[in-house]
Amino acid sequence: MSTPHNSAKKGDIAETILLPGDPLRAKFIAENFLENPVQFNSVRNMLGFTGTYKGKPVSVMGTGMGMPSIGIYSYELIHFYGVKNLIRVGSCGAYSDKLDLYDIILAMGACTNSNYARQFELPGTYSAIASWDLLYKAKQVADSKNIKVVVGNVLSSDTFYTPEKDLPKKWSSMNVLAVEMEAYALYCNAAAAGVNALAILTVSDSLVTKKETTPEEREKNFTQMIEIALELA
């Protein structure tokens, strides 16, 4: 079985998958963290690999940027390949002045400016939240490894560039910690299918202090969130 976006066959992908936005980060994770990784996808250069971590099967695959992209890949992984645990490992921009570069967020919930949830025809505004099982386990893993994490709400935005200058202040006034572009859609797809999802995010830049990391640093140095995610398999 394959899809227009994934050449894997049924059984090639593990029930637990890590989902970085950048396919090169997927390759980095496979080569540096997984034992005996085998590539299962290269369609559109959206690289995917399956290997083992501490003897347990784990997959990793890029999702691209934005909710439409992760919406496609996560839907196919769930409905065509039987994935049960989808863990986004991505970067985010800090809205909180209490966050610094490389700080890690466990996204308990995701706000959005997207209409992604409209497809579910709900008579109200859907609150997209992480799966408690994965969230609880991730916090336990972080504590056991002495990795500092912040648990809270993030914004999944449809726009990266915007003329609105006060967005960070407006969202942070509601204790929204950071902005990214995928978690809301992932949480919606997982909830609709009855599977588990969690976004683990590393601060790559700050909308408050204007500090930022380089693309190479984002690809290769965001390892602590990967260590947490892999322990969830």
Give how far the C-alpha of residue 39 lies from the chain's centroid of Cα atoms, to the nearest Å: 20
CA distance 72 to 189: 10
Instruction: Select which of 12, 22, 103, 205 is catalytic.
Output: 205
Question: Which residues pair with residue 206 across a beta bridge?
Answer: 94
CA distance 69 to 178: 20
Backbone angles phi, psi at 198, to 5 degrees: -150, 140
Show the DSSP H helices in the chain as ranges: 23-33, 67-79, 132-144, 167-172, 183-193, 215-220, 223-230
Q: 């799966």: which residue's tokens?
A: 131
Alpha-carbon dihedral 141, 146, 147, 149, rounded to 10 degrees? 80
User: Could you confirm whether 100 is annotated as catalytic?
Assistant: no
Cite the active site residues. Answer: 205
